[in-house]
Copies of this chain bind each other. A is one copy, B any other.
Amino acid sequence: MRMSTKAQYAVRALVSLNLTSDGDPVSIKDISSRENISLNYLEQLFVKLRRGEIVKSVRGPGGGYMLARPAADIRVDEIIDTVEETLVPVSCMEADGSCSCTSECATQSVWQGLGNQIRTFLASMTLEDLTNEGRRRLDS
């Protein structure tokens, strides 16, 4: 039951972006070196984040990425969805989910409930919350 590094990196990178941004775009290279994440790997993530309209890109010198929306409007569960990490803990609950299990399966209620918990929790946090948390830590 691990969150993939994709999800971890995406959240970290966006917090970092929002912390260091002063209105200008931030280059992916800066984020990469500050957060110690592979440059090329980060690029893959930002392509998805752009398609998911979490960030927008500015090309050319002085370019980079910036948030596509106010940080308060970006929920953590959205970020994770966007980099393609499922939050449903078992496959039989998904669209194509075929299960060897019979209809009287009692364990479904466990995973169903667990999935809801996870979703609800991550939807209750926004990028702004995390950025404030980061600022608070920097001060101390």
Write the residues of chain A forming the contact surface with B, with a CB cutoff of 8 angstroms.
1-4, 7-8, 11-12, 15, 35-37, 76, 80, 85-91, 100-101, 103-107, 109-111, 113-114, 117-118, 121-122, 125, 130-131, 133-134, 137-138
Contact = CB atoms under 8 A, between A and B. Distances in A.
B107 A114 contact: no
A74 to B, nearest CB: 13
Contact of A89 (B3, B101, B107): B3
A111 B12 contact: no
Scoring A35, A106, A117, A133 by chain B CB atoms within 10 A of each residue's CB, the highest score goes to: A106
B130 A90 contact: no
The 6 nearest A-B residue pairs measured at CB: A106-B134, A36-B100, A104-B137, A106-B133, A3-B89, A106-B130
